[in-house]
Amino acid sequence: MSRSGWLLVLLALGALPLLAAEPLTFRVGWEAEIPSLNPATNWAEEGGFIIDLMFDSFYELNEKSEPVPLLIVDEKISDDLLTWDLTIAQGVTWHDGKPLTANDVVYNLKALLKTMPPMLRADLEFIDSVEKTGEYSFRLHMKYAQPERLTKVLLADDPLVFLPPHLMPPVEEITLQDILDYKPEIGFGPFKLVEWKKDQHVILEAYDGYWGKKPYIDRLIFKRYDSETATVEALLAGEVDLVFEITAMTLVPRIKRAKGYDVSATKSQWLHDVIFNLADWNENIRPAILQPEVRRALAHCIDVDKIIKLVWLGYAQKNPSILPNAGPYPPFLNTELRYYEFDPEKAAQILEENGWVDRDGDGIREKTITYTIRPLKLEDGKHVVGPDGHLERVPADQWIVKTGTFKLDFEVWIETSYSVLLRVFEIIKEDAAKAGIRLRPTVMEGAKMYDQIWGEDGYRADFDILGWGWNIGADPTFILEWLSAYQIGGWSDSNYHSPEFTGLYLLQKKTLDPEKRAEIIRRAQELVHRDLPYIIMYWPDKLDGYSLAWTGYVQQDLVGLCNRMTFLSVRPAE
């Protein structure tokens, strides 16, 4: 049925006013900030949804989170996996009408390989070079062989064609800063950008010139609200049609009770964790947190069962690994890992045995520590990772040795869209106090928090502990990359820099035998569980509230209802 036909049906049924007026509009509500619509600078899942609608990746993830061709219409992969001959669809145009051909693909890949934006490194670093082989075809030469599925997942992760050559400097002149500063106004995907009011809304419209499957809707609006309560109230008032990622569990039965609305629950790729600052290269060093026994003691103060019961009402999965037990992950999961036993008395004993005592009777343990600041060796403003996976430092005579007394008194910062973690840390805070650890959780606006974590150069690391989470994608390589030394100054939030772990990250990418690769990945999980840059608490289900006035929702494995497939197929229910 045409869009105008849908409108006649809606008018006859007396549907909601927002659906009865041109253009046919679908609205999504959430609390998240959108940091960027540039794939090279966006870190937020919500920003990724919009980017995926403005641009087409070479491949996309289907309903089962398996990679399938999108922009690619033909592929020929050599037996050794080192040469990929790919052909893109014909008739693709940028939103300003300019044709998109192999020239655009080659321009983008050469620009990105030349500059290697940190947030796109995982999607690029295995590509050695690119060449044009026809008007719509190109060839990728790989640095090394890696599993075919992994390559396709990486080529589906972010659009690697997003820089319009006719609006950018020549590839010989383009710089990393040019790419990072670029603010996309046009793409070539099924929706085009109409308006972005930061911290308010993003408005997209269907692109009539799109080469592929066109959406049923004319307009798609993503609107930000101050709280989950306000977002759900907007859903029940008919102001939005889909609420992304509900974390206030008391709102779930409220939606389910309302006529014409429901909630979907999806086992997710979304972990919630405690993140420790392990940076040791500047004056922002946190010597107490660098002590392994402190991190281990705090792990014994987390009552995961109580948190899942009281905060999540059961809508979360127990699993202490950095990989979920869902989707494509079970073959890689280290099932021998166990939670650190919840036992605040044991935590106190660990601290006592390592010299952490309460000297002044304030209930907070302290200790005098001699520590070393080892500044990073930088080349062109970026850190250097040695061949064995270690962070290279300045000469030892430039290191700084200090001694100080430190209390186990830590700020815990929680990014605004993760405000549910405030309740989680209020529970942890009480049990940590029994062991002599003081936690001070607070919710912080994203921009301020990111500046303290990364700063302008990526290496500020001025924080104690974070309460946060990850959506880890459709292959283990993503979370392994983010925890590797290569992503310090980029995706890394903990600044974990284990040479063994970084080496395992590289090795698993180049291991073609599935079981051998899984063994390597299981060992990497074991290292994180031992070293504790993160304490993995649980894996929340993805809960999305939605209006039954619409049909065509696609519940994607690990992701839920908020995905590209939903926005292309959603339409008014008859």
CB 264 within 8 A of CB 559: no
Tell me what pLDDT residue 21 has: 54
Q: What is the pLDDT along the chain (574 residues), one digit of tens a residue?
A: 434 444 444 444 444 444 445 899 999 999 888 989 999 999 888 999 999 999 999 999 999 999 999 999 999 999 999 999 999 999 999 999 999 999 999 999 999 999 999 889 989 999 999 999 999 999 999 999 999 999 999 999 999 999 999 999 999 999 999 999 999 999 999 999 999 998 899 999 999 999 999 999 999 999 999 999 999 999 999 999 999 999 989 999 999 999 999 999 999 999 999 999 999 999 999 999 999 999 999 999 999 999 999 999 999 999 999 999 998 999 999 999 999 999 999 999 999 999 999 999 999 999 999 999 999 999 988 999 999 999 999 999 999 999 999 999 999 999 988 889 999 999 999 999 999 999 999 999 888 999 999 998 999 999 999 999 998 889 999 999 999 999 999 899 999 999 999 999 999 999 999 999 999 999 999 999 999 999 999 999 999 999 999 999 999 999 999 999 999 999 999 8
* Helices within 119-220 (DSSP H only): 121-124, 148-157, 176-181
Angle at 213 between CA 211 and CA 216, to 5 degrees: 125
In 374-492, beta strands by DSSP E: 378-379, 382-383, 400-407, 409-415, 438-444, 465-471
Assign 3-class secondary structure to 382-395.
EECECCCCCECECC
Task: Report residue 59 as tokens.
Answer: 């491949």
Residues near 477 by beta carbon (within 8 Å), at least 6 away in sequence: 122, 150, 153, 154, 505, 508, 509
CB 126 within 8 A of CB 154: yes
Amino acid at site 328: P
CB 58 within 8 A of CB 156: yes
pTM for the full predicted model: 0.89
Kindly list the distances between the CA atom of residue 254 and the CA atoms of 246, 261, 418, in Å, as whole numbers in the listed order: 12, 10, 21
CB 419 within 8 A of CB 443: yes
- Distance between CA atoms of residues 518 and 176, nearest Å: 35
CB 116 within 8 A of CB 125: yes
Quote the DSSP letter at residue 37: S
Q: Would you tell me the crossing angle of helices 514-531 and 499-509 to the nearest 10 degrees?
A: 160
